[in-house]
Amino acid sequence: MNMLRFFERLVDPYVDYAEQDTPPQKLWPFMMAYSQPFKRVFWITGVMSIVVAVVEIWLIAYMGRVVDILQGDPALVWQTYSTEFVIVALLILFVRPILQGIDVALLNNTILPNFGTLIRWRAHKHVLRQSVGWFENDFAGRIANRIMQTPPAAGEAVFQVFDAITFSLAYVIGSAFLLANADPRLALPLVIWLGLYACLVVWTVKRVGPASQASSDARSTVTGRVVDAYTNIHSVKMFSHGPQELEYAKDAIEKARTTFQTEMRIFTIMDVTLVMLNGVLIIGVVGGAVWLWTLGEASVGVVAATTALVLRLNAMTAWIMWALTSFFRQLGVVKEGMETIAQPITLTDVSDAKPLEFRNGQIEIDRLTHHYGRRTGGLDTVSLQIGPGQKIGLIGRSGAGKSTLVKLLLRFYDADGGRILIDDQDIAKVTQDSLRAQIGMVQQDSSLLHRSVGDNIRYGRPDATDEEIIAAAKQAEAHEFILGLADAEGREGYDAQVGERGVKLSGGQRQRITLARVMLKDAPILLLDEATSALDSEVEAAIQETLYGMMAGKTVIAIAHRLSTIAQMDRILVLDKGKIVEDGSHDALLAQGGLYADFWARQSGGFLNAEDT
């Protein structure tokens, strides 16, 4: 076991490396980039594969020699060859297993576990750096599927290079030398067979790669559609769309079936053709050896060795072909995975980005424009000054640009034009992590991580103590209901798991845990996007005072449809069609008689009417 641990630790899959915003877009440079920590191991493994192949050929050749030796007087055989037999026996019993063991350990214990781990770790790290917009343009299930299927495919491809391709090349070349050494005429059928075999390999490989990539892509589509249905299972059930979802998935499943059928047809044709070619090899080499023996030009040992060699090659050819096709099939999977894990990072820190130095929380928005690549929607040349510690309410119809402003402030997207400054620092020129560290946000969609309640709250400040987590939960009016939680595994209270996206909790419970998380973070800039929308009136009333207390000393931007929740803000901004059309206090805007006054007059129960949102 200690020896295996030595091989397992030859390469650290988590070794530091220079991250690339634009990974290689072609297959071989992509594979080479990930292979750098394994270069020395790959060379050693290649040499060991050749050594093992040479030993196997020598063993067959020596068995032929043994057959020839046994043609002599039995009484003299042991007396003459005993020392040689003992040495060969020791080589077979001890040296051969050691060489084979090193070769196998390099493959099974050094390369396979660590190479796949390295790719998965680096691919996940790369994908996590992608922008929010990048994730919004793809299925989470398909992204995850590619992260999971690409590493083992790449590992299997590398495995086949050394386990089969290098070994088989050395074996075939060694076989040709062995036959030529016995009689050059015996090598001729092998050379002819090898040419035909190479043609079959080329034919197979040219078709397997594209077929495998199509099949892999189809499987990813199935995964994406299935995960999409599971993720939105409440909507599926609520609208009774189970049959529609089945039909939607069936289209992808059927395409996966047909693409896989195409791939399997190639293997069937390959197998039948290979059996025919191997018949030519056996008849050509073994028949030739027997013919030479009848002429007295080859010994029985030569016939025995060539027969064993050819039968071994016959057994190996299917394995070699399978290994080659598997190699290119796995490369097809890697190529398909590259469509996700090799995409460039488009939202990056500038080369000389520095951490944001927070001073007092002044925000300046200068001619900010963003349309998500469209001609309309988003923001259009918005300019705004928010003083240190000022509380801003933000309202407007749906699509007016409220959420766009918040996302640009967090730099989830880069603006099409204009800039945002915090304490006179352009947020496009500071590091993204330092920017978001100074901002706390509570969203309307309060999804949680599939972890414990405590872990979800601690996400706001990973170094927080249990006491601080409980204190934040109490502030958010969440402590009492948390104590009553229990999951299917018997974990209770703060240790209870909340389910994927927090589905085991009610909307109000999720919202309060989200509030507790932001309270624990205690960032100096606070963004509230319908922060109390999921709370019932009683809980909202209890938490409202806490919220206002949390705002003390912070710069706040709050989006709300319930106008009563922002009436006490220092200023209220009304957005319409991507522009700020009104700016002032609650009383001042009511006096203007504009959009805000209209919203206020028409709201029922403190909400904007649906026609206005």
pLDDT above 70 (res 606):
no
- pLDDT by residue (tens digit) across 239-275? 888 888 999 999 999 999 999 999 889 888 888 888 8
Q: Which CATH superfamily is domain 8-341 in?
A: ABC transporter type 1, transmembrane domain (1.20.1560.10)
**What average pLDDT does this structure show over 441-445?**
79
613: confidence class by pLDDT, cuts 50, 70, 90: very low
Q: What was the pLDDT predicted at 254?
A: 94
Which band of pLDDT confidence, cut at 50, 70 and 90, is reported for residue 234?
confident
pLDDT over 70 for what percent of the chain? Answer: 95
Closest CA to 143 of 228, 264, 245: 228
pLDDT tens string 132-184: 888 888 877 788 888 888 999 999 889 888 888 888 888 888 888 888 888 88
Q: Would you say residue 524 has pLDDT above 50?
A: yes
449 touches 169 (CB < 8 A): no
Residue type, 160: Q
The CATH architecture of the domain made up of 450-522 is 3-Layer(aba) Sandwich (3.40)
Spatial CB neighbours of 205, under 8 Å, sequence gap ≥ 6: 324, 325, 328
Task: Give pLDDT, residue 47.
Answer: 93
pLDDT band at 532 (very low <50, low <70, confident <90, very high): low
Comparing 541 with 443, which gets the higher pLDDT? 443
Q: Which pLDDT does position 605 carry in this prediction?
A: 45
Q: Which residue has the higher pLDDT, 203 or 141?
A: 203
Q: What tens digit of pLDDT does each residue of 547-603 get?
A: 777 888 899 999 887 787 788 889 999 999 899 999 999 999 999 988 998 888 876
Q: How confident is the model at residue 394 (pLDDT cuts 50, 70, 90)?
A: very high
Q: pLDDT tens across 209-224, in order?
A: 788 778 888 888 898 8
Determine the distance from the C-alpha atom of residue 388 to the mean position of all C-alpha atoms in its chain, rounded to a whole number: 41
CA distance 554 to 84: 89
| Phi, psi torsion values for 466, nearest 5 degrees | -60, -35
Provide the pLDDT confidence category of residue 522 given band limits of 50, 70 and 90.
very high
Any idea where the domains of the chain sit in the sequence?
8-341, 450-522
- The secondary structure of 223-256 as a DSSP string is HHHHHHHHHTHHHHHHTT-HHHHHHHHHHHHHHH
Q: Sorting pLDDT into bands at 50, 70 and 90, what band is 314? A: confident
Q: What is the pLDDT of residue 142?
A: 80
- pLDDT for res 534: 56
Q: Please determine, for residue 427, whether its predicted confidence score (pLDDT) is greater than 90.
A: yes
User: What are phi and psi for residue 381, nearest 5 degrees?
Assistant: 45, 60
Q: Which residues of 49-179 form beta strands (DSSP E)?
A: none
Q: pLDDT-derived band of residue 361, with 50, 70 and 90 as boundaries?
A: very high
Token pair belonging to 524: 């100096």
The mean pLDDT of 82-89, rounded to a whole number, is 91
3-class state of residue 367 by DSSP = strand
Is 323 in contact with 201 (CB distance < 8 Å)? no
| Average pLDDT of the residues in 330-342 | 86
12-71: per-residue pLDDT in tens?
999 999 888 999 989 889 999 999 999 999 999 999 999 998 998 888 888 888 888 888
Give every CB contact of residue 361 below 8 A, 6+ residues apart in sequence: 388, 389, 422, 423, 524, 525, 554, 555
HEC secondary structure over 532-590: CCCCCHHHHHHHHHHHHHHHCCCEEEEECCEHHHCCCCCEEEEEECCEEEEEECHHHHH
pLDDT for 538 equals 65
Q: Residue 116: CA atoms inside 13 Å, Cβ hemisphere, count? A: 19
Q: Are 388 and 555 in contact (CB under 8 A)?
A: yes
Mean pLDDT of the chain: 87
- Exposure string of 1-10, with b = 16+ CB inside 10 Å and e = fewer, is eeeeeebeeb
Is the model's pLDDT at 476 over the cut of 80? yes
Residue 117 reports pLDDT greater than 70: yes
Residue 343, token pair as written in the block: 């995409």
